[in-house]
Each structure stands twice: as structure tokens, then as C-alpha cells.
Structure 1
Amino acid sequence: MGSAQLQFTEPAIRILENEHRYLMYVAEEWHGIVLRFEREEEMDRDTAIGLLKELRRLVIEFIEPLKNHTDKEEAHFFPMLGNYIGFEQGPILGIQEEHAEIDGYIGHFLHHIRGDLGDLTMEQIRSAVGDAGEAFEVLTVHFMKEETVLFPMAERLMGANDLDALAEKLNTKII
């Protein structure tokens, strides 16, 4: 998934795939901070709070493009693909649940670091950073599932008229 090479041919699917590339690029910036905590690097509390502030800033910047992307999928891509494969069970339902799970981890992270960070213990800082790490992990697997299951399915099953209409609807900026 890290490759800059796009693998899909239909413009509608390429738009979504390209947005994944951008979102992962941005997420990897803040994930680097998460990894410093996960590796349990030696750091004093001031360093940890500085990193936490930077992590908060980067995650907050990430929210809007992520939300714009998932909103487009939920408003246009999922309903159109669902006309071909159904909505009640299967991949679309699971993918939509992952959207909520990612939002939940990000929300949990931000909830625990609102206000004065100076009051947080190292344990609270590590716990909050863990939520950002979980969001990244779910996001990574989520994009992989979309790219290995939903996107190929869409290219294989959807009619040309639907794909063209979808491309028109999806062709908006997320940033």
C-alpha cells in the first residue's frame, strides 16, 4: 500500500485510492510520534508533553480530510456498490463499522488530552497515545480491506454508467 503506483483503472476508484495514499502519508507523520512512545523511548515528562502536543496538532489536522473522504464513501461509493452486492451484511457493513471505530479512537484520544496537558501523568500520556496508535492500526487495515475487497469488486461488478456517475460525485477535494 505504501507504493505511489495506483493499481486501479476506473477513475472513480482511482480517486478513492489516491485519497488513501494521501491520508496514509499524513497519518504516518503522526504515527512516528506514536512509535516513539510504543518503543518506550526514554524521555522526561516535558519531552512527552511536547510530543503529545505535536501529536494532538497533527491528529486534529488529519480529522477533516479523513472525514471528507469517509463522507464521500458513505454518501456515494457504498450506496452505489451496495446496489450490486447488497447492504445488509458483508463487506460494506464491516467497512462502515470501521469508520466508526477509527472515529472512536481519535475521539477517545482527543477527549483524554483536552485542557491542560501539564496535569497528565506519564501513564495517562502513554494511554492517550495508545488510542492514536489504535486509530492508525485500524485505518491501515481498513484501507487494505477497501483496496483488496471493495475496490476490485466495484471495478468488476459496477456498470460503466454507474462508475462514470460515481467518478463525477467523488471528484472533490478532501483538503
Structure 2
Amino acid sequence: MEASNDVLSASLQQLMDEHVSLRTDMDHFYEITEDIEIETGPAVVELFAKLYEKVSSFNHKLKAHSKREEEGLFPMMTRHLGEHDRTIEVMEFEHEKAEQHLQDFLTEADMKGHSLDEDDVQWITVYAVQAHATLTQHFAKEEKVLFPLAEKILSVEEKVELERMFRD
């Protein structure tokens, strides 16, 4: 997957750079899900504890990133795109879907607590895998379509305002 050749303003580049960091974290937790799939016995529960830690940390970072998009970028773009354009609606839906997968993972793991067994680990891990798949596609869409579109339609003043919002 190649990135767009467009040069992005500082605020949009920040969101793009956050994707790089988030994708690295996502790939780390995905590797653990693959290990869980092939492991058996007590090792599975130990791997799951690592996965839980990674997903929990990732979820926190993702929420901060999503907030910048949902409270800054998306409303600005919506003003330019018009009421019949569904671009932002789709992006927000994908945010909700990914966040729900992560929340389901964390909630189910918390509910099982120390009574977690191998079967629990296998089905709860599916939520992390689903979050990874959703976000992989979502990031690609934002990078290929949304960020370049924002670069074209937002004014210099709006981009500066976004930068200021991201700093605060």
C-alpha cells in the first residue's frame, strides 16, 4: 500500500504520523493473537495477559487520536462537504465499530477475570483480531482518501486552527 504523494499540512501530517505509531502497536498485539491461536495450555493464559496489556494501552492511545479527528478534523470537513456527502459518517461509523471491538475485548476479559480459561481466551481474542482488521482498513482509507481530501478542502486558517487544537 503506497501513501499519497500529497504533502500534508502539519496537523494532517500529525494524524498520519499517529497512524504509524498506532499501526505498530496494533501489529504487536496482532502478533500475540496469532501466538494465542497456535499455543495451548497455561501459555495461552499468559499470552492473553500480555495481549490485554497491549490492547488496553492501545485503546487509550486510539481514543486520543480519534478525539482529535472527531472533534477537530471531521466537523471542519463536514462544513465543506455538504449534507449529502457520507464520507465523515462512514469514518465515524468505523471509529465506533473499532472502539466497540476493543471495548468488548476489555469488558469480556474483565468479566472473566482470574477464572479465564483457554476457551475464554480463544473467543475473547477474536475481538482484538476484529479491531485490528477494522482499523487496518480504516487507516488506509483515511490515508488514501480523507487526509488528501482535507488538505484540498480546508483553508490555511482551518489547518492552523487544527494545529492549535491538537496542541491544547
Please give the TM-score of this superposition, normalised by the length of structure 1. 0.86
Contact kept, 8 Å, 1:31 with 1:133, in 2: the verdict is yes
Q: Structure 1: which amino acid aligns with 2:73?
A: F
State the 1:146 CA deviation: 0.7
Q: Structure 2: which amino acid aligns with 1:152?
A: P
Q: Structure 2: which amino acid aligns with 1:146?
A: E
Unaligned runs of 5+ in 2: none
CA deviation vs aligned residue, 1:73-99 (integer Å, no higher than 9, x gap): 111100111111135641100110111
Contact kept, 8 Å, 2:11 with 2:163, in 1: the verdict is yes
State the 1:45 CA deviation: 2.1
Residue among 146, 156, 170 paired with 2:166 = 170
The number of residue pairs the alignment matches comes to: 168
Residue among 49, 56, 66 paired with 1:53 = 49
Name which of structure 1's ranges 24-33 and 84-93 shifts more when overlaid on structure 2: 84-93
Contact kept, 8 Å, 1:112 with 1:128, in 2: the verdict is yes
2:154 — aligned with what?
A: 158
Unaligned runs of 5+ in 1: none
CA deviation vs aligned residue, 1:106-132 (integer Å, no higher than 9, x gap): 111112211555533433211111110
C-alpha RMSD of matched pairs (Å): 2.2
1:24 — aligned with what?
A: 23
Residue among 53, 63, 68 paired with 2:64 = 68
Name which of structure 1's ranges 126-135 and 160-169 shifts more when overlaid on structure 2: 160-169
Q: Structure 2: which amino acid aligns with 1:170?
A: F
Three-state SS of the structure 1 residue aligned to 2:8 is coil
More helix by share: 2
1:86 — aligned with what?
A: 82
Q: Structure 2: which amino acid aligns with 1:50?
A: E
Residue among 123, 132, 135 paired with 2:131 = 135
